[in-house]
């Protein structure tokens, strides 16, 4: 596989961009090798600058539910761009978009548009703090909520300790207000609540995690978490930037049967353009400026290009409820093929799937939380990743990420992927 042009571009990019990329995982640092520079996306495929074609299971990290460049989104963008790219003033499409999100997700009464998932989660935390008058938050080890300072925290030395920064530039003050619990362990939450009585403003969680690989919250855990938040008057925030409109029309909260107080969205609601949103209960959201005193603003929030693309995507979902049936059939087919391959090579590597999100963990122990996920053999995954890439299948270049199936993936794509998976697994022996 020829990669000359990608190698040249990566060498040049490192002179002008930190690490040569504008988001760290793109650099292939955890798997080694040279990242592929992409020139075009068509349906289920990506083509790089050297002309290599790949079956794409990143889908821009989730937004491309329908594959690259679906016609109805392209048409929506063409119409929008003819009218103007940005105004800094209200537009009708913002109202239509907010109304549609509220219609499709039962927990959303009022929603505010922003420009990224990170903006959405940061703003949701601020709203929760303003609403409750409390300062501390609880997050879960292994859940990623963007690069806001108070999210880049890991667990300290014990279950009851404050978190510690995972990145230089994050202050100890920020870390002190963030407590870290264990995913799928309700007792770790109860212990933190006991030690910090009446100090917790919010608990934020990915109800189905995509950033330590695909891991689902158990029914009992998420139900108890909801009950605890109600009991202690804590704002429960579901981070559905990745899962919103991907796992179901109502997101992970529909699958789990739980109503959070606030939710955050991104990815699919922009139809492939930069976007974010947070929303939920009216009484909480009305504390946001200009309705209330909690300030949050953004020059490009509700950008007409992103709103038109997102509105086209969500309207398609509303009018085609079979989208999730199609995604389930394709994803189950891929899962079964990989499971059969694992049996044939005599490996019990863990394959977690929820809807169209899936992760193959290179560990033989069940993966239910961060501690079990990090038992994966990342060096082995790196070899597997390149084995798949060289066979024309583009997976997330990191063990602790989810792959995404789209409606554009054909049976031929899935069969080719399953065959490549078998060859790649055999090459690891």
Q: What angle do CA 296, 109, 328 make, to 5 degrees?
A: 105
Question: Are residues 272 and 401 both part of a single domain?
Answer: no
Q: Is residue 428 part of a domain?
A: no
Same domain, 33 and 48: yes
* Listed residues 265, 290, 319: the one ending a domain: 319
Whether the Cβ atoms of residue 295 and residue 289 lie closer than 8 Å to each other: yes
One domain, residues 261 and 228: yes
Residue 99 lies in a domain: yes
Question: Comparing C-alpha atoms, which of 194, 147, 138 is closest to residue 170?
Answer: 147
Is 358 among the domain residues?
Answer: yes
Alpha helices in 88-171 (DSSP H): 92-104, 117-132
Question: How confident is the model over 225-236, as a mean pLDDT?
Answer: 98
Residue 65, in any domain of the structure: no
- Start-to-end CA distance of the chain, whole Å, equals 23
CATH of the domain at 158: 3.40.640.10
Please say if the pLDDT value at position 174 is more than 50: yes
* Domain total of the chain: 2
pLDDT tens sequence across 379-425 = 999 999 999 999 999 999 999 999 999 999 999 999 999 999 999 99
Q: Which helix (H) or strand (E) holds 111?
A: strand 110-114
CATH code of the domain containing 395: 3.90.1150.10
Beta strand segments in 297-417, E: 350-354, 357-361, 393-394, 403-404
Q: What is the pTM of this model?
A: 0.96
Do 167 and 202 fall within a single domain? yes
In a shared domain, residues 136 and 271: yes
pLDDT(123) > 80: yes
pLDDT tens-digit map of 85-96:
999 999 999 999
**Of the listed ranges 151-160, 197-206, 244-253, 286-295, the one predicted with least confidence:** 151-160
DSSP strand pairing (110-114 vs 136-140): unpaired
Mean of all residue pLDDT scores within the chain: 95
**What number is the average pLDDT over the span 174-182?**
90
116 with 229, same domain: the answer is yes
Last residue in a domain, options 267, 293, 319: 319
Interval 2-18 mean pLDDT:
97
Q: What is the sign of the dihedral through the CA atoms of 155, 157, 159 and 161?
A: negative
Among candidate residues 66, 62, 54, the one with its CA nearest the CA of residue 417? 54
Residue 137 shares a structural domain with residue 16: no
Q: Which domain holds residue 408?
A: 4-57+323-422
Specify whether 282 is located in the same domain as 198. yes
Residues 24 and 154 placed together within one structural domain of the fold: no
Q: How far apart are CA 405 and CA 246, in angstroms?
A: 10
**Tokens 């039962």 sit on residue:** 106
Domain endpoint, select from 287, 319, 351: 319
Active site residues: 144, 239, 267
Q: How far is CA 260 from CA 69, 236, 240, 251, in A?
A: 32, 5, 11, 12
């Amino acid at each position: 596989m020829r990669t000359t042009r990608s190698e040249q571009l990566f060498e040049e990019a490192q002179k002008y961009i930190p690490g040569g990329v504008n988001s760290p995982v793109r650099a292939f640092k955890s798997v080694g090798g040279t990242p592929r520079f992409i020139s075009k996306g068509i349906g289920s495929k990506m083509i790089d600058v050297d002309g290599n074609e790949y079956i794409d299971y990143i889908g821009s990290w989730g937004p491309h539910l329908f594959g690259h460049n679906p016609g109805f989104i392209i048409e929506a963008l063409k119409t929008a761009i003819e009218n103007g790219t940005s105004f800094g003033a209200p537009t009708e499409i913002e109202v239509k978009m907010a109304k549609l999100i509220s219609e499709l997700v039962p927990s959303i009464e009022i929603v505010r548009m922003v420009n990224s998932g990170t903006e959405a989660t940061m703003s949701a935390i601020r709203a929760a703090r303003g609403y409750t008058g409390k300062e501390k938050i609880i997050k879960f080890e292994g859940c990623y909520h963007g690069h806001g300072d108070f999210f880049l925290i890991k667990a300290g030395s014990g279950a009851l300790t404050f978190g510690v920064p995972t990145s230089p530039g994050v202050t100890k003050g920020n870390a002190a207000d963030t407590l870290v619990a264990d995913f799928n362990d309700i007792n770790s939450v109860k212990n933190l609540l006991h030690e910090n009585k009446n100090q917790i403003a919010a608990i934020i969680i990915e109800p189905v995690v995509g950033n330590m690989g695909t891991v689902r919250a158990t029914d009992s855990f998420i139900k108890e978490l909801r009950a605890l938040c109600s009991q202690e008057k804590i704002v429960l925030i579901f981070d559905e930037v990745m899962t919103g409109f991907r796992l179901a029309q109502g997101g992970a909260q529909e699958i789990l049967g739980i109503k959070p107080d606030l939710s955050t969205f991104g990815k699919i609601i922009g139809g492939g353009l930069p976007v974010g949103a947070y929303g939920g209960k009216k009484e909480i959201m009305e504390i946001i400026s200009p309705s209330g005193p909690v300030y949050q603003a953004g020059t490009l929030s509700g950008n007409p290009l992103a709103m038109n693309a997102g509105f086209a995507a969500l309207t398609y979902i509303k009018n085609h409820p079979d989208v999730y049936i199609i995604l389930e059939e394709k994803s189950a087919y891929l899962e079964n093929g990989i499971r059969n391959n694992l049996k044939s090579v005599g490996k019990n590597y863990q394959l977690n799937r929820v809807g169209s999100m899936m992760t193959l963990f290179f560990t033989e122990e069940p993966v239910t939380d961060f501690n079990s996920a990090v038992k994966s053999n990342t060096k082995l995954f790196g070899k597997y990743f390149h084995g798949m890439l060289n066979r024309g299948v583009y997976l997330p270049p990191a063990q602790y990420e989810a792959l995404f199936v789209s409606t554009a993936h054909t049976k031929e794509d899935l069969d080719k992927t399953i065959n490549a998976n078998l060859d790649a697994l055999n090459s690891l022996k």
